[in-house]
């Protein structure tokens, strides 16, 4: 039996409004840009992505789940997205609940705030994971058994932590320098762990959908379900699983509806399941069903981003490092404040997207479309972030807490 492990990740940050130093110390709300039709207006973005992606995707998925008993998937949804859906789009949240109520959808654990806390404060990281798990339990009535870290960032330490924490599986990128001659189409075990299993993304096949689907310059365009089924079948040859990991927003937002991506999603499982030896598994199921084939050793940190597959899109320049280390340096006084609003604002600023917007990797080439940012430039992103940071420090000082 060859199984597809389909995993979709849903996340939206709370973007900082163009926040001036003159607001620092007076305006303590950083995420409430209500200017119509602007990309820092979080409600506007949520509405847009809900209509373009989440709702139509979930309509297709619920149909598949009800129609095909064999169809299953895993998903993760960040706390920052859930918060926003609760505020503005409960109908979208309900559509996720409907999927999960079928009993065939696994929800994957992660940090509530889509943060890089693991690399800066283990204590803070653990709290954010616990907060996310609690939210998932309250909302969907299930407790996650698999783990993904922000941007599929991963190393041996993370696997060790997840193993100790009792997770059955963890996922990351199937990056060639790590795999070497090995194939991503098997279950593995992380080095130095006892029970946990590791699933690694088949990025070639995942990216055929996530990045290349609508690219008319691609020699394989258009991607048909027949063709893709053949590829997945061939890739799984001799393998047990094919891990198709991608953003939820692939459907409808990165690849627009008029590219036919929803039709593709709707038709593909049917095509795949025509072969009785083909199936679907959730992440945890796959880790329990298949034997692990080898140990995977990842001393350095890898992610699923860019051609480098590392953290340089978030921590690649001086501004990014300056911003994130300044923020984490506030951990002690912030927690000491016992002020829930203040603590939550600090955590919302930890969302990795904020430092991602400061990335200068592609900026000089004028290729500003290579990354999505609501700001004029990485420098503006840094400026607004640091102004919000200043306000945090001012709020602490006003409370009589030393920095």
Where does this chain bind other proteins (CB under 8 A)? 18, 20-22, 317-319, 321-323, 360, 363-364, 366, 368, 376-380, 382-383, 386-387
Q: Are 216 and 255 in contact (CB under 8 A)?
A: no
- Continuous H helices in 191-293: 203-210, 225-235, 261-272, 283-289
Nearer to other proteins, 57 or 387 (CB): 387
Q: Minimum CB separation from other proteins for residue 377, in Å?
A: 7
Query: Taking every pair of C-alpha atoms in the chain, what is the biggest distance, in angstroms?
Result: 68
Exposed/middle/buried for residue 19 (C-beta within 10 Å: 0-12, 13-18, 19+):
buried
SS3 345: helix
331 given a catalytic annotation: no
Cβ proximity to other proteins: between 150 and 387 the closer is 387
Comparing CB distances to other proteins, the nearer of 270 and 360 is: 360
* Minimal distance, residue 197 CB to other proteins, in Å: 40
Neighbouring CB atoms inside 10 A of 141's CB total 10
Residue 226 DSSP code: H
Q: Which is nearer to other proteins, 23 or 78 (CB)?
A: 23
Residue closer to other proteins by CB (options 132, 395) is 395
Among 146, 149, 147, which Cα is nearest to 114's? 149
Of 121, 80, 149, whose CA–CA distance to 331 is shortest?
A: 121
Phi, psi of 121 (to 5 degrees): -155, 110
Tell me the closest approach of the beta carbon of residue 236 to other proteins, in angstroms.
Answer: 44
Query: One of 124, 151, 249, 285 is an active-site residue; which one?
Result: 151
Does residue 222 have a cis peptide bond before it, meaning omega lies within 30 degrees of 0? yes
Q: Rg of the chain's alpha carbons, rounded to an integer?
A: 21
For the bound state, the minimum distance from the C-beta of residue 282 to other proteins, rounded and expressed in Å, comes to 42
What does the alpha-carbon distance between residue 396 and residue 331 come to, in Å, rounded to a whole number? 11
CB of 36 to other proteins, least distance (A): 19
Residues with active-site annotation: 151
């Amino acid at each position: 039996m060859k199984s597809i492990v389909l995993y979709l990740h849903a996340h939206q940050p709370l973007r900082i409004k163009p926040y001036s130093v003159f607001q620092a110390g007076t305006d303590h709300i950083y995420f409430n840009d209500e200017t119509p039709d602007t990309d820092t207006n979080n409600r506007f973005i949520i509405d847009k992505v809900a209509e373009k992606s989440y709702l139509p995707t979930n309509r297709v998925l619920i149909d598949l789940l009800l129609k095909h008993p064999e169809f299953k998937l895993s998903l993760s949804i960040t706390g920052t997205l859930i918060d926003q859906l609760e505020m503005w789009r409960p109908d979208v949240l309900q559509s996720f609940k409907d999927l999960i109520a079928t009993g065939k959808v696994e929800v994957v654990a992660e940090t509530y705030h889509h943060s890089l806390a693991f690399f800066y404060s283990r204590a803070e990281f653990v709290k954010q994971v616990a907060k996310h798990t609690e939210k998932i339990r309250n909302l969907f009535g299930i407790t996650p058994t698999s783990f993904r870290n922000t941007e599929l960032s991963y190393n041996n330490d993370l696997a060790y932590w997840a193993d100790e924490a009792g997770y059955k599986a963890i996922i990351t990128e199937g990056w060639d320098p790590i795999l070497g001659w090995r194939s991503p189409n098997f279950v593995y075990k992380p080095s130095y762990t006892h029970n946990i299993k590791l699933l690694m993304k088949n990025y070639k096949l995942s990216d055929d959908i996530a990045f290349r689907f609508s690219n008319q310059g691609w020699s394989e365009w258009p991607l048909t379900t027949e063709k893709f089924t053949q590829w997945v079948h061939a890739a799984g040859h001799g393998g047990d699983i094919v891990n198709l990991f991608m953003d939820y927003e692939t459907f409808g937002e990165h690849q627009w509806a008029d590219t036919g991506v929803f039709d593709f999603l709707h038709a593909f499982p049917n095509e795949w399941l025509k072969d009785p030896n083909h199936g679907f598994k959730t992440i945890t199921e796959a880790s329990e069903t298949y034997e692990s084939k080898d140990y995977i050793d990842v001393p350095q940190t890898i992610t699923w981003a860019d051609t480098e597959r590392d953290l340089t899109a978030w921590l690649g320049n001086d501004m990014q490092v300056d911003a994130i280390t300044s923020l984490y340096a506030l951990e002690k006084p912030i927690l000491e404040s016992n002020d829930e609003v203040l603590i939550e604002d600090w955590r919302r600023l930890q969302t990795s997207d904020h430092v991602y917007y400061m990335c200068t990797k592609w900026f000089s080439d004028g290729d500003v479309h290579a990354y999505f940012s609501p700001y004029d430039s990485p420098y503006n992103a840094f400026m607004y972030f640091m102004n919000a940071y200043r306000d945090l420090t001012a709020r602490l000082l006003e409370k009589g807490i030393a920095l």
